[in-house]
Amino acid sequence: MGRIPQNFIDDLLSRVDLVEVVDARVPLKKAGREFTACCPFHNEKTPSFTVSPAKQFYHCFGCGAHGNAIGFLMAYEHLEFVDAIESLAAGLGVTVPREGPEPRAGAERRSSDNQALYDLLERAGRYFRHQLKNHPERARAVDYLQRRGLSGEIARDFGIGYAPPGWQHLIGAFNGQPAQGRLAEAGLVIEADGKRYDRFRDRIMFPIRDSRGRYIGFGGRVLGDDTPKYLNSPETPVFHKGRELYGFFEARQALRDLHRILVVEGYMDVVALAQFGIRYAVATLGTAVTREHLERLFRTTQEVVFCFDGDRAGRDAAWRGLENALPLMREGYQVRFMFLPEGEDPDSLVRRIGKAAFEDLLEKALPLSQFFIDQLRHEVDLGSLDGRARLVEKVRPLLATVPEGIYRHLLLERLAEFARVAPDQLGWLLDGREPALRRAALYRPTREPRGKRRSAPSAVRHALSHLVLAPELAARAGDPSRFSGLRLPGVRLLADLIDLLQRKPGLSWGAVLEHWRGTDEGRHLARLAAEEPLIEEPELLEDEFLGALQIIEREFLRQRREELEERFRSLSEAEKLELNQVMVRERALRNA
Hey, which residues does 162 pair with through a beta bridge?
Answer: 204
**Rule CB under 5 A: which residues touch Zn ion?**
39, 41-42, 60, 62-63, 65
Closest distance between Zn ion and the C-beta of residue 522, in Å? 19
Closest distance between Zn ion and the C-beta of residue 41, in Å? 5
Give alpha helix (H) positions in 255-309.
267-275, 291-298
Q: Are 251 and 279 in contact (CB under 8 A)?
A: yes
* 317-to-288, 323, 344, 346, 363 alpha-carbon distances in Å: 7, 10, 16, 16, 21
Closest distance between Zn ion and the C-beta of residue 525, in Å? 19
Query: Using CA of residue 119, residue 120, residue 122, residue 123, what is the dihedral sign?
Result: positive
The residue (of 60 and 473) whose beta carbon lies closer to Zn ion is 60
The residue (of 36 and 508) whose beta carbon lies closer to Zn ion is 36
* HSE-up of residue 300 (Cα within 13 Å, Cβ side): 26
Contacts of 542 (CB under 8 A, 6+ apart): 470, 473, 476
Closest distance between Zn ion and the C-beta of residue 530, in Å? 12
d(CA 328, CA 306): 15
Closest distance between Zn ion and the C-beta of residue 257, in Å? 23
Closest distance between Zn ion and the C-beta of residue 60, in Å? 3
The residue (of 98 and 444) whose beta carbon lies closer to Zn ion is 444
| Of the candidates 336, 338, 328, the residue with the CA atom closest to the CA atom of residue 408 | 328
The residue (of 48 and 180) whose beta carbon lies closer to Zn ion is 48
Greatest Cα pair distance in the chain: 110
Closest distance between Zn ion and the C-beta of residue 39, in Å? 3
Instruction: Count the Cβ atoms, other than its own, within 10 Å of residue 439.
Output: 8
Q: Are 132 and 142 in contact (CB under 8 A)?
A: yes
Hey, which residues does 283 pair with through a beta bridge?
Answer: 246, 264
The residue (of 450 and 558) whose beta carbon lies closer to Zn ion is 450
The residue (of 446 and 458) whose beta carbon lies closer to Zn ion is 446
The residue (of 39 and 501) whose beta carbon lies closer to Zn ion is 39
Give alpha helix (H) positions in 364-483.
368-379, 385-399, 406-419, 459-469
